[in-house]
Amino acid sequence: QSALTQPASVSGSPGQSITISCTGTSSDVGNYNLVSWYQQHPGKAPKLMIFEVSKWPSGAFNRFSGSKSGNTASLTISGLQAEDEADYYCCSYAGSNIWVFGGGTKLTVL
Amino acid sequence: QLQLVQSGAEMKKPGASVKVSCKASGYTFIHYYMYWVRQAPGQGLEWMGMINPSGGSATYAQRFRGRISMTWDTSTRTVYMELSSLGSEDTAVYYCAREVGDDHMDVWGRGTTVTVSS
């Protein structure tokens, strides 16, 4: 099972919006609405931000939103803040109880 | 409170095995699958597998099959991940994470660093 494809890095200024893409195949992202997104700060464990493509966990992060079109899922962060600077990973179900992560995207807040 | 507490850092020689534990608290242990995810230095997250502490069934990522085993102990609310035939490429931080809603990980352990070096 190959890793999902994410851009290595994205950047934006405070207050702006950015979008991170996550491209898979018709066997994973394209076949299931089971994409989640995780934020990871250096030296810390990942933190759930979005699940089932576009749902927020409790303690919602309204500036974070998710979507999907075909084999590509996307995470949009609006109103960028300094604390959003982190690595972001998508994760998708790939069938047969198998899950696959994206390679990760480093977000820099300028 | 809801948390996963992992065992301490390990140093292993190539060819050895390592067993990492993950003790759950704050929820009904057998009601949630547990995932294991690892992260090599400077690299991304890699899903390794999952185990059902209720039925005991486990599913492993293809690349680890044959040298990985996930087990559990209901009495101590602990899940274990054992990886054998270690090589330098297995040097990583290993995380356990609780699966919720059948499709995402809502609680993560703090990670266990495993270093493989001769």
Closest among A3, A59, A52, A84 to B107, alpha carbons compared: A59
Nearest to A34 among B37, B103, B109 (CB): B103
Distance from CA of B7 to the nearest CA of A (A): 15
How confident is the model at residue B102, as a pLDDT? Answer: 82
Which residues of chain B neighbour A34 with C-beta distances below 8 Å? 103-104
Looking at residue B84, its pLDDT comes to 97
Which residue(s) pair with B106 in the sheet? none
Distance (Å, rounded) from C-alpha B24 to C-alpha B98?
9
Q: Which of A52, A89, A93 sits opposite B45 (nearest CB)?
A: A89
Check whether A1 has a pLDDT greater than 90.
no
CA distance B2 to chain A (A): 14
**Average pLDDT of chain A, as a whole number:** 95
Least CA distance to B61: which residue of chain A? A98
pLDDT tens digits, B47-84: 999 999 997 789 999 999 999 999 999 999 999 999 99
Top-confidence residue, B29 or B90 = B90
Predicted confidence band of residue A59 (pLDDT cuts 50, 70, 90): confident
CA–CA distance, A50 with B106 (Å, rounded to integer): 10
CB hemisphere CA count around B82 (13 angstroms) = 10
Confidence of residue A91 (pLDDT cuts 50, 70, 90): very high
- Tell me what percent of the residues of chain A surpass a pLDDT of 70: 99
Supply the pLDDT for residue A77.
96
Q: Is the Cα dihedral A63, A66, A67, A72 positive or negative?
A: positive
Work out the pLDDT band at B109, boundaries 50, 70, 90. very high
Any chain B CB within 8 A of the CB of A91?
A: yes
The sign of the CA dihedral B84, B59, B102, A78 is positive
Which among A45, A51, A87 has CB closest to B108? A45
What distance in Å separates residue B64's CA from the closest CA in chain A? 12
Residue A38: pLDDT band (50, 70, 90) is: very high
Measure Cα distances from A53 to A6, A43, A72, B33 in Å: 15, 26, 10, 20
Strand partners, A24: none
Arithmetic mean of pLDDT, B23-49: 95
* A101 interaction partners in chain B (CB closer than 8 Å): 37, 44-47
In the numeric block, which tokens belong to residue A26?
């018709």
A85-97: average pLDDT: 96
The alpha-carbon gap from A80 to the nearest alpha carbon of chain B, in Å, equals 23
**Chain A residue with Cα closest to B42:** A42
Q: How confident is the model at residue A22 (pLDDT cuts 50, 70, 90)?
A: very high
Looking at the partner chain, which of B45, B59, B103 has a beta carbon nearest the beta carbon of A101? B45
Distance separating alpha carbons of residues B83 and B104, to the nearest angstrom: 23
Give phi and psi for B62, each to the nearest 5: -50, -45
Please name which of A29, A102, A44, A45 lies closest in space to residue B108, comparing C-alpha atoms. Answer: A45
Query: Is residue A95 within 8 angstroms of chain B, CB to CB?
Result: no
Mean pLDDT value across chain B: 95
Name the E strands within B1-118: 3-6, 10-12, 18-25, 34-39, 45-51, 58-60, 68-73, 78-83, 92-100, 104-108, 112-116
Instruction: Please say if the pLDDT value at position B31 is more than 80.
Output: yes
- Band (pLDDT 50/70/90 cuts) for residue A50 is very high
C-beta atoms surrounding B68 within 10 Å: 18
